[in-house]
Amino acid sequence: MKRRLGVIVALVIAMGAALGWLSTRDRETGEAPQPPGAGRADPLERGRQLVALGDCRACHTARGGAAYAGGRAIATPFGTFYAPNITPDEETGIGRWSADDFWRAIHDGRSRDGKPLYPTFPYTNFTKLSRGDADAMFAYLRTQPPVHQASRAHELKFPYNHRLLLVGWRLLFFRPGVYQGDATRDAQWNRGAYLVQGLGHCSACHEARNALGAIQSRDNPSGGLVLNWYAPALASRAEAGVQDWREDDIVALLASGVSPRGSAMGPMAEVVYESLQHADAADLRAMAVYLKSLRDSGAPSAAGFQSVPRKAVEAMRRDGEKLYAEHCAQCHGDQGQGRAPAAPPLAGNRAVLMTSAVNPIRIVLFGGYTPSTAGHPRPFGMPPFSPTLSDEQIAAVLTYVRTSWGNAARPVAGVEVRDNRSGPLW
């Protein structure tokens, strides 16, 4: 009965929303803001740079598969999405698409046949792109080798497998529109805003979402959960805000995955490897200028996280101190000071101290590397401890780290570690 009622309600919403869908369309094509002195690159080279900045290859390439041929699984709370083939194969890819078809997908979030696309494809960000940039991307993709590989159907939970519901979702949460420059800011800032908000689709990961998967950052300053990792808020100094960083350090992090102020691991390491390291230096500088200008959104609330009884914390800290001396101190130092360049400091490290403990938990569980890039070709790695330490032991050592050497973060519960033993690494 509940299931039938849910379907009826959803269909009523969708049919009512359908009448309003035409009002969400626009016919703007826009001009992409350029930094001062920027030249007109060769169209195909421009397309290559844009496709790289959009991280298209990473999402549309299965592990070990042909580039852009699709098939990569993207796990979400709504089910598993599979990226489609975007090679110029005429039967299984976009070989029969026109530039108008590609623009409709980028700008309006609709496929060649007019069907609404699921917002796992970040058209809610890509809609800010200019028509000229979309055309350049399409021209570059047309030069890639065609791969005959049928796109795999999504495996979604009920009722999200009913595409008709997207009509209502789009009316509530999506308005197509190219980027509108801020006349009070200079060209470099506007270029950075255009890339961060649009093609780079940073908010797709770094902003909190509601139960229907729509961004709710205005009401929640926290970041978002992506592939079981936490993408910290870009505006929060307590998380990933770079308001007090030097521009050079921001550019270094984006281009190489490491900088004097932080490093990229987990899914962000892949973004640097597949996308940002290939970007034009002027574009990375513009992104740094924009990110540095964001108003601090404050630290997310600790409400709703698993609590640990106060009387249990001291026992956890004692156990954690012993485990730290045995497994961690050799690399990270007795006082959490780190040992450059192999191991970062843990004292005062905001990546360790954020309200969400998901990332430090997963790094201890599974280890990992910063990306291997031209600017950082031989990264140091963190070994995995999931085979050797129990949930409670990992919670104890993290609680010790997060409450020692001046650190004052909330303790970590064993159940949080248990909940992070499953799911994709990224």
Q: What 8-state DSSP symbol labels residue 97?
A: -
**CA of 197: how far to CAs of 34, 177, 203, in Å?**
15, 12, 7
Q: Is the pLDDT of residue 186 over 90?
A: yes
Average pLDDT rounded to a whole number, residues 129-148? 97
Q: Note the pTM of the prediction, 2 decimals.
A: 0.89
Task: Give the model's pLDDT for residue 216.
Answer: 78
Q: Is the pLDDT of residue 16 over 80?
A: no
Spans of all domains in the chain: 26-173, 187-293, 310-419
Average pLDDT rounded to a whole number, residues 44-56? 95
pLDDT tens-place string over residues 200-218: 999 999 998 888 999 876 6
Average pLDDT rounded to a whole number, residues 274-278? 95
Do residues 331 and 345 touch, judged by C-beta distance below 8 A? no
- Gap between the Cα atoms of 284 and 181, Å rounded: 18
Q: Is the pLDDT of residue 39 over 60?
A: no
Pick the CATH number of 187-293 from 1.10.238, 3.30.70, 3.90.1720, 1.10.760: 1.10.760
Output 87 or 381, whichever has higher pLDDT: 87
Residue 223's φ and ψ, nearest 5 degrees, are -85, -160
The answer to whether 187-293 and 310-419 have equal CATH topology is yes
pLDDT tens-place string over residues 302-352: 777 888 888 899 999 999 999 999 999 999 999 999 998 889 999 999 999
Q: What contacts 134, CB < 8 A, 6 or more positions away?
A: 99, 102, 103, 106, 107
Over the chain, what is the mean pLDDT? 90
CATH fold, domain 310-419, is: Cytochrome Bc1 Complex; Chain D, domain 2 (1.10.760)
Average pLDDT rounded to a whole number, residues 230-235? 94
Task: Give the model's pLDDT for residue 217.
Answer: 64
Task: Give the model's pLDDT for residue 26.
Answer: 54
Task: Give the model's pLDDT for residue 22.
Answer: 43
- Residue 378 has, within 13 A of its CA and on its CB side, a CA count of 2
Task: Give the model's pLDDT for residue 32.
Answer: 76
Q: Is the pLDDT of residue 12 over 80?
A: no
- Measuring CA to CA, which residue among 354, 318, 336, 341 is closest to residue 406? 336
